[in-house]
Every structure is written in structure tokens, then in C-alpha cells.
Chains A and B, each alone.
Chain A
Amino acid sequence: MSRNRVLLFAGIAILIALPAVTPAYFLHLLIQILIWAFIYTAWALMGRFGFVSFGHGAFLGLGAYVPALLWNYWDVTPWLGIPLSVIAAVVLAVVVGYPCFRRRVVGHYFALVTLALSQVVLLSLIAARDVTGGSLGFTQKAVGHSWYALQFPEKGYFYLIALLLWLAGLLIWQRIDRGIGREALEAISDDEDAAAAVGIDVMREKMRVTIISAALTAIGGAIYGQYVMYLNPDTVSGIAVSLQIVFAAIAGGVYSLFGPSVGALLTLLLTEGLRVWFGTNFIGAANTIYGILLILCIIFMPQGIVGALQRIRLPRRSRAKPVAAQDGH
């Protein structure tokens, strides 16, 4: 325990000190890794219990666009805009999630309904091109260094924000992992009727984790938007980013604390590495290799990279549950 604590604090200290010694390019990479790690962790909150949502692009899109639009058109500070975007994401999650769970939309059907949800947000953003700029994208009004506008040209600030966000995400993940709710959710994902029979409030548990997951994803989208200062419907919503979230989280492993973060680290390093290596002449190269790795990953390591490592290291009884097997079939 104490050794772990020491390691933990040492790790955090190193992470906080990092910007002082890192070149701007690597800091930029680190910020992106942390933000996406946070988003993937948020997705894994649902994904690990077999609720495989392809709709997180919807929450991400709302999170990114709502504060940006409010800021540009009405000068509303992101400090207000971000909570509003979270509310919007939660409302959307409840409006779609509640009937979904009530009507037992599970497995393939759940995946495809949520996929439609993310397409709705994507196409709405494109259709409202007079306001959002459509496929051409949207740039926030820049005001230089400002806490009020949550804009910092200096990357160090965003690094700390992203780091804080990521740590908060891990904490929430761990709280759910260690709480009684986890047992309840695992029971639900194994057999909903049996879980209800032993007195688990199935709806409440499912809604709780869905709302948390949607809210965190919206926050992630908002911070991402504030950082890159350029939004494009295709990069923050729709089928492509939804699949990206699902795959990175699963590749890293959804059953372990650092799994989704490892997924973010590896996918971003892979993308960047291949981009630097091949240059821009081979724009598809990174994702081509990524796609092959994903297929191999799902065939040979369905519990993700971190899960596979744990399988080797840990004794049999504490192994992570294999495979996202708990959908309703």
C-alpha cells in the first residue's frame, strides 16, 4: 500500500513537472493523449458493463460545440457554457437511454441505435451550417490569454487542465469500480432478470452510469474544443469518432483502470509516429495499420492490451473478465 502510494505520488509529481522539460510538440501530444484518455475512460464506464455505445460522438459533439457557439454568438464564458453542454448531453443521454433500457434495447440493437444518435448530431451540425459553419468547421473567437474565456496560448496551462481532468476521470472510474454499483452492474450485464430478482434497481444503476459517462464525455469534448480552437463536425461527432472511441478503449482494455488511457497513448503515438515517419504523402498509412491492429486485437486479445498483460501477471482468480461477453444474447 505505502509503496503504491509513493509510486502514485512520484508519478503525479513527474507528470506535473513534465512541461518544464518537454518541447512544445511533445507537450501538444501529451495534452491530446490526456484529453482522449479521459474521454475513452468515460466511455469505458459504460463499455465495461456491456453497454457498447456507438453514440458517444453525440455527447462529444455537444460538449465541443455548445460552449463554442455560446462564446462566439453571445460571449457566454465557457465556465457557464461547459456546464450547459454537460446538461445538454445528460438530457440527450436520458431521453435516448431511458427508453432504451426500459425497452431492453441491448447488444447489436443498442449499438446501432446509439450509432444513429451520433449521426443525428453530426448531420444536425452540418445542416445548421449558417450557425456552425457546417463541414468547413468552426473557430472560436480568440482573445489571447484569458481565464474568463478559458483560452491559453501557452500550452502549459492546458497541460495542467488536461492532467487534472484525466486524474479526475480515473478517480471516478475507481470509485465506480470499488463501489457496490459495480457488482450490481456486472450482475445486470450477466442476467438482467436475475439481477432484478435479487433486488437490484436495474434502471437506476444503468441510468447512473450512462449519465456519468455522457457528462464526462461532454466535458472532454469541451476541453478538447477549448484547446484546439477549431471544431469540425467530423472530428467531434458522427460514426468515425464514435468508432474511434470504442476501438481505442477496447484496444487498451475496458476492464482495467489504465486500459483506456493506454489505448489513447498507443493510438495517438501510432498515428503521430506513422505520420512523422511516412510524412503527409501517405495520409492513410497510420489508420491502415491501426485497422489491422484492431482486428488482430479483437481476435487475439479481446480483453485489451492491459487486460492481456494482467492475464499473464495476475493469478487466475483475479483475472479480468474475458471478452465483452455480457450483452443480452
Chain B
Amino acid sequence: MDIYLLEAIINGILLGGVLALLALGLNLIFGVIDVVWICYADIVMCGMYAIYFLYTQYGLPLPLAFAIAIAGVAGLGVLIHLLIIAPVLNSAPLNQLLATGGLLFFLQSFATLLFGTDFRNIGVRLPVLEIATIYVSFARLIAFAVALTGAVALYFFLKRTYVGTAIRAIAQDREIVGLMGIDQRRIYLVVSAIGGALAGLAACLLALQYDVHPFIGNTFGPVIFMICVLGGLGNMIGGFIASFVISQIIAIGGYYASTELSYVLAFTFFIVLMLIRPRGLFAP
């Protein structure tokens, strides 16, 4: 096989890890709270800015900056739930979508206002590994490993802990859980915090690979929604698999054509599949 194609495929798998992490967060929130955070990629942007400023401007060590960013974005998730989602929890689903869409506008423009439109890089250069004449970015390898670890940790959290069980119970039947003595509002806050933390974690991984700018959310936000819908909104395993399908299309398409065309291909693939299987790839 062509060595560059192999490289593209491997990079695709590595990219899929980060996308899977984001899809997990979005699916968790959708599955439990039944709301799509259309601004999800933009809270990742907030996390990336936090890392940038903490690390380069305030001189904090990188792991500490990461930890603060994850905690900060988790807090942002809770705030979003309290301020924006809670008031519209009982209105039409589309109004909820639009409320978080308003937040998307707000976050992007507020970031423009505060930081300008410059591209900023934290300036950490991780080495490129050469494995049997294939070049693999170390940053991507770390991102992939951390994303997988995060996914597995989330899985065990949901399966093995009391709160996790309560979260799954709500996702199954939100009417009954109240009778089981579960405080829905508290679970919603926990889920928003976890969703935020996953976005924060993704921000750490992305900050190592990409420059941050106010509109970075627009570049991968639509891809994450696409992945979630493709896997079936709320279906975490479906979203996980769909991340790798889409990232392969993007990687291989990028190898044969250009980056933009590979995204065009991925979006077209998504539209066609939606028309064939409207409830996602893995719907029963």
C-alpha cells in the first residue's frame, strides 16, 4: 500500500479519537437532558483560550493550565445549564437549539471582542515520531490515547457508580426516575459538568495541535453534530463508531483531493446516509 495513504489513515484514526471525545460529551448531554448544545465546539474554544493565557501569559506549568481549563469549562457547562437551558427546559426542542445557538454567537463575538481575530498558538512543539518510515504526530497520538482513556473512564463511571446509574436511568425514562428518588435537577447539573469537562479535555488535546481563534468552533462544530446524528443522537457507542467513520472519510479524502473537498465528501455522505437511515446508522 502507498505509504502516504497509510499515514493518512493512521492520522484519520488519531483524529477520530478527539472527535469521539467531543461526540461523547454532546451525546451524553443530549441523551440525558434532551438538548443539543449547538455551541459545544465553542466552549472548547473557551477552554483553548484559557490554556493559552494561563500557559503563555501567566506562566503556569502546562499540566496545571490544563487542569484549570478542564475545571473552568466544566463550570461553564454548569453555568450554561443554569442560565440558558434550565429556563427553556420545557419549551420546544428547537427553541432550546436556538438558545444555545444564541450562545454560539455570543461566545464567538465575545472572544473576538476580547482577544481579536489573531491566531494564537501555545508554542508547545511535540516531536514527530517515525515508526517504520511512517510519520506520526506525537500530539495526535497523545490526543488519541487520552480521548480513548476518557471514553473508557466515562463508560465505567456510567456503569459502576450510583450517579452514573442515575444518569442512565434518566436517559431511559425521565418520568419514572423521580419516583425512584433521583433528583433530576442535580443529575442535569452533573451531566452538564461532565459534558463541559469533556469539552475542556478536548480543548487541552486540540491546543497542542491547532492555533486558537474565535471561530475555531465553526471548523469542527458541524462535524461533531454530524457524527452525533449519524451515530444516532444520544447513542454514545454509535457516536463513537461514527467518529472514526467520518474521520477516515476526512483523512482519505484529504489525501486524494483537498481538505475542503474531503469535508464536502463527509457532509454529503452524512446527508445521503440520513436520507437512507433517518435515525442514524445504528438505529434499530
Contacts and interface: CB of A to CB of B under 8 A. Distances in A.
B92 interface: yes
A108 interface: yes
A283 B117 contact: yes
A120 interface: yes
Contact of A123 (B84, B88, B94, B267): B267
Interface residues of A, number: 53
Interface string B145-173: 00000000000000000000000000000
B214 interface: yes
Contacts of B102: 247, 291-295, 297-298
A250 B116 CA distance: 29
Contacts of B111: 284
Contacts of A290: 105, 109
Nearest to A291: B106
Contacts of B264: 120, 123-124, 127
A310 to B, nearest CB: 18
B261 A283 contact: no
A84 interface: no
A329 B93 contact: yes
Interface stretch (B122-130, B204-212, B268-276): B268-276
Contact of B214 (A108, A284, A323, A325): A284
A239 B94 contact: no
Given A104-B278, A299-B87, A299-B88, A294 B101 contact: yes
Contacts of B279: 109
Given A112-B226, A288-B109, A325-B92, A105 B278 contact: yes
A326 to B, nearest CB: 8
Contacts of B107: 291
Contacts of A302: 91-92, 95
A52 interface: yes
Contacts of B257: 127
A243 interface: yes
A188 to B, nearest CB: 16
Interface in A103-149: 103-105, 107-109, 111-113, 115-117, 119-120, 123-124, 126-127
B132 to A, nearest CB: 33
B275 A246 contact: no
Nearest to A98: B275
A325 B91 CA distance: 7
Contacts of B114: 284
A113 B221 CA distance: 14
Contact of A288 (B91, B113, B117, B275): B113
B233 interface: yes
Contact of A243 (B101, B117, B226, B263): B101
Contact of B91 (A96, A108, A291, A323): A323
Nearest to A278: B113
Nearest to B214: A284
Interface in A293-311: 293-295, 297-299, 302
Q: From B105, B107, B108, name the one whose CB has the most chain A CB atoms within 10 angstroms.
A: B105
B275 A100 contact: yes
Contacts, number: 162
Nearest to B87: A299
A101 to B, nearest CB: 10
A246 to B, nearest CB: 7
Contacts of A112: 36, 225-226, 229
Contact of A96 (B229, B233, B271): B271
B98 interface: yes
Given A108-B97, A288-B113, A117 B271 contact: yes
B149 to A, nearest CB: 29
Nearest to B226: A116
Contacts of B261: 123-124, 127
B92 A327 contact: yes
Nearest to A124: B264
A36 B262 CA distance: 32
B217 to A, nearest CB: 9
B94 A120 contact: no
A104 B99 CA distance: 24
Given A247-B101, A291-B105, A120 B267 contact: yes
Nearest to B279: A109
A288 B95 contact: no
Nearest to A243: B101
A108 B36 contact: yes
A74 B219 CA distance: 33
Given A116-B271, A238-B218, A327-B93, 14 more contacts: A52-B97, A96-B271, A108-B93, A113-B229, A120-B271, A239-B221, A246-B101, A250-B98, A283-B112, A284-B114, A284-B214, A288-B106, A291-B105, A295-B102
| 7 A-B pairs with the lowest CB-CB distances in the bound complex, closest first | A291-B106, A284-B112, A287-B109, A284-B113, A294-B102, A291-B105, A127-B260
Interface of A: 50, 52, 96, 99-100, 103-105, 107-109, 111-113, 115-117, 119-120, 123-124, 126-127, 238-240, 243, 246-247, 250, 282-288, 290-295, 297-299, 302, 323-327, 329
27 contacts: A96-B275, A100-B274, A103-B275, A107-B93, A108-B229, A108-B233, A111-B97, A115-B225, A117-B267, A127-B257, A283-B116, A283-B117, A284-B114, A285-B109, A285-B113, A286-B109, A287-B108, A291-B109, A292-B102, A292-B106, A293-B102, A294-B101, A294-B105, A295-B99, A298-B98, A324-B92, A327-B92
